[in-house]
Amino acid sequence: MFNRRKFLRISAVSASITALSKYSTVKAADLIAPGNLPIVISTWDFGIAANKEAWKTLASGGRALDAVEAGVKIPEADMNNHTVGRAGYPDRDGHVTLDACIMDEFGNCGSVAAMENIAHPITVARLVMEKTPHVMLVGDGATQFAVEQGIKKEKLLTPESEEAWKKWLVKAEYSPKINIENEQRRPGSKYNHDTIGMLAIDVKGNISGACTTSGMAFKLHGRVGDSPIIGAGLYVDNEVGGATSTGVGEEVIRNVGSFLVVELMRQGYSPEDACKEAVNRIIKKKPVAAKNLQVGFLAINKKGEYGAYAIQEGFSFAVCDSKKQDLLIPGKSFYKESK
């Protein structure tokens, strides 16, 4: 049935598509737009720049999968970002090892873990998904595959990262602290960072997600967190929605966090309530340890409604749609609410 509000929303989307793209191939019939679609959301304040890049694809009628890959490549390339991509801090032995995964609307997924010398792990994850019968490649095998696909090997350890690692080596204590990434990675920033997890819905209503990180700084060599693990760091079900996570990956893996969030949304939970329940399960299992660790979840449902929840205060997420391209929202958190 004709609905004026929906029509106006679709008109706004059409206008932004026309304005932003020379090659729009989207027909009005494609704009099912049940919510304010298309939309892209991602973790932390660096998500704003990443979303803007993803938006170029979404606003021109492109596929959510292309949008999330393009979007997360922005922080992967950012030399000031020491938690994702080429300038990521190394492990305790001085190796920069990167983790990433990607998932599309068909349930296809690809992942790389503990991969060295390749600056854009998300692209390799997508190649694993599209060019191999596998889901995950790790370590030297992932690097070898990337090179076979024509990607250049690069030295990733920057002088700044090397200096930070050498300072860390003086005491060589590995003790993840709440939002430690903020202190280590962007001095002066108001917000904390870690993994970028991104979820997008395109004009056809299809959902995809991407997640990429250099993992915990100064981790044991070979350590893999939640970010490249489908179901932990990222999960997408095109009938329901998508979820992604940030923070101490071990706790997310133990609870298969992103899959849990999507399954809770399937049962009728709102995105925020689903993220809250996933956080509560981590806290319930480890009430003492949880006081000193951070995990945040971010989710979107099929209608384009989104929400987030974290253990600790300080988690933020970025939202970009036809109304606003640079929204940053402070995530709710267990410890703030409990104070």
H-helix or E-strand spanning residue 310:
strand 306-310
254 phi and psi, to 5 degrees? -60, -25
| Residue 227 touching ligand GLY (CB under 6 A) | yes
Q: How far is the CB of 85 from ligand GLY (least distance, A)?
A: 13
| Residue 215 touching ligand GLY (CB under 6 A) | yes
Are 33 and 13 contacting, i.e. CB atoms less than 8 angstroms apart?
Answer: yes
- Per CB under 6 A, the list member of 35, 47, 110, 225 interacting with ligand GLY is 225
Instruction: State CA 306 to chain mean position distance.
Output: 14
| Residue 195 touching ligand GLY (CB under 6 A) | yes
C-beta closer to ligand GLY: residue 105 or 251: 251
Write down the residue that tokens 């720049």 correspond to.
49
C-beta closer to ligand GLY: residue 322 or 333: 333
| Residue 213 touching ligand GLY (CB under 6 A) | yes
- Per CB under 6 A, the list member of 194, 202, 237, 321 interacting with ligand GLY is 194
Query: What's the CA gap between 25 and 9, in Å, rounded?
Result: 19
**Coil, helix or strand for 2?**
coil
C-beta closer to ligand GLY: residue 182 or 246: 246
Return the sign of the alpha-carbon dihedral for residues 117, 123, 127, 129.
positive
Stretch of 74-82, 102-110, 150-158, 209-217 contacting ligand GLY, by CB under 6 A: 209-217
Instruction: State CA 170 to chain mean position distance.
Output: 32
- Per CB under 6 A, the list member of 76, 78, 226, 272 interacting with ligand GLY is 226
Count each helix (H run) and each strand (E run) in the chain, helices first: 11, 13
Stretch of 119-127, 182-190, 223-231, 319-327 contacting ligand GLY, by CB under 6 A: 223-231
Per the residue annotation, which of 57, 123, 195, 244 is the catalytic one?
195
Maximum alpha-carbon separation in the chain: 68
Write each residue from 246 to 275 as x if it is in contact with ligand GLY (CB under 6 A), else as -, in one continuous string.
xxxx--------------------------
Cis preceding linkage at 34, omega within 30: no
35 phi and psi, to 5 degrees? -115, -150
* 43 included as an active-site residue: no
- DSSP code string of 40-86: EEEESTTHHHHHHHHHHHHHTT--HHHHHHHHHHHHHH-TT-SSSGG
Stretch of 11-19, 244-252, 296-304, 314-322 contacting ligand GLY, by CB under 6 A: 244-252
Q: How far is the CB of 43 from ligand GLY (least distance, A)?
A: 9
C-beta closer to ligand GLY: residue 52 or 254: 254
Return the sign of the alpha-carbon dihedral for residues 9, 13, 19, 22.
negative
Task: Give the number of other CB atoms < 10 A from CB of residue 131.
Answer: 12
- Per CB under 6 A, the list member of 87, 118, 216, 240 interacting with ligand GLY is 216
C-beta closer to ligand GLY: residue 68 or 201: 68
- How many chain residues touch ligand GLY (CB under 6 A)? 12
> Which amino acid, one-letter code, is at 175?
S
Q: Shortest CA distance to 36 belongs to which of 301, 317, 318? A: 301
Q: How far is the CB of 84 from ligand GLY (least distance, A)?
A: 10
C-beta closer to ligand GLY: residue 63 or 73: 73
H-helix or E-strand spanning residue 237:
strand 234-237
Query: What's the CA gap between 35 and 2, in Å, rounded?
Result: 15
Stretch of 61-69, 86-94, 134-142, 211-219 contacting ligand GLY, by CB under 6 A: 211-219
Q: Shortest CA distance to 339 belongs to which of 313, 310, 318, 301? A: 313
Stretch of 121-129, 136-144, 221-229, 307-315 contacting ligand GLY, by CB under 6 A: 221-229
The binding site for ligand GLY (CB under 6 A) comprises: 194-195, 213, 215-216, 225-227, 246-249
Active site residues: 195
